[in-house]
Amino acid sequence: MSIKVNLADFSEIEKQAYEFMVKHPDKVIKLSADTLAKEMFVSKPTIFRVCKKLGFTGIVEYKHFLIKSKQEKMKELNPTLQMVELLLKEFDNDFTPGNITVFEQSKIVILYATQASTIAASFLSRQLTYLGYFTRIVEDEYEFTQVSETIPDKSIIIAISNTGENHLLTQHLLKVTNKVPIFAITKKSSSLARIADYGLFHNLDIKTASKTVDRENQLPLMILIHELVERLWSSMQERNLPRGDYDE
């Protein structure tokens, strides 16, 4: 955000005030008009005249402009923040009561993940263990085959993939679609999302995370996992269940 300024319309004292306001935006935001006038060695009317020549109704509107400009600049400097905000806006409506119910009916959580997604799977495994679930991480083809043949009762599979286009993952999940509920944490409208019975989904461009500090593209998954754990914990509290205590 920028302002077009014609300094030819400014008096010398107004130029002095303007230069201060440009050099010290944080002070302009924090300080009152009276204090600013003392800092600038000008009168309050001078400050108001400068604000009006900049196109604002007064100092309050100019402060709002500075705050908004600062926020937008922070977003430009922090693509990770932009990615998080976008993710939080888009995933929430995908979560339905059925997502919670299926967990309430399960005691064993089998986590399917490969490659970098095993980082997110390990994190989720720890969180679910704290909530009293028995968890197992399955991350290679041999384990996928073994588990698909011997799925315990009251189990649920959580499949984790940032792209949702992991052929090995989807191939083995198709073998168990009628045996166990499948919950996906992945990209919306992906192959994995279509296979899953339930899930939390993001709708980010896969290239977005590569522009942030998140080189392994795990941040979208971590945020979705945090949301899942928070909702499971809230559900347990509503039912007055301590961690690790489930109805038979």
* Type of residue found at 195: I
Q: Reduced to 3 states, what is the DSSP secondary structure of residue 173?
A: helix
Q: Is the pLDDT of residue 239 over 50?
A: yes
Give the tens place of pLDDT for each residue, 36-63: 999 999 999 999 999 999 999 999 999 9
The two tokens of residue 20 are 């201060």
Strand extents, DSSP E, the chain: 108-112, 134-138, 155-160, 182-187, 198-202
Give the tens place of pLDDT for each residue, 159-195: 999 889 988 889 889 988 888 999 999 888 899 999 9
State phi, psi for 89 to the nearest 5 degrees.
-70, -30
What residues contact residue 196 under an 8 Å CB cut-off, 6+ apart? 159, 182, 183, 184, 186
Residue 155 DSSP one-character state: E
Q: What is the rounded distance in angstroms from the CA atom of residue 57 to the CA atom of residue 78? A: 31
Give the tens place of pLDDT for each residue, 5-24: 888 889 999 999 999 999 99
Q: How many CA atoms lie within 13 A of 34 on its CB side?
A: 0
Q: Is the pLDDT of residue 79 over 70?
A: no
Tell me whether residue 76 is exposed, middle or buried, using C-beta atoms within 10 angstroms of its C-beta: 0 to 12, 13 to 18, 19 or more. Answer: exposed
Residue count of the chain: 248
- pTM score: 0.61
Q: For residues 221 and 124, is the Cβ–Cβ distance under 8 A? A: no
Q: For residues 193 and 96, is the Cβ–Cβ distance under 8 A? A: no
Give the tens place of pLDDT for each residue, 116-158: 899 999 999 999 998 889 999 998 888 888 887 788 888 999 9
Q: Reduced to 3 states, what is the DSSP secondary structure of residue 146?
A: helix
Count Cβ atoms below 10 Å from residue 172 Cβ, excluding itself: 20
Q: What is the rounded distance in angstroms from the CA atom of residue 90 to the CA atom of residue 86? A: 6
Q: Reduced to 3 states, what is the DSSP secondary structure of residue 121?
A: helix
Task: Write down the pLDDT at residue 46.
Answer: 95
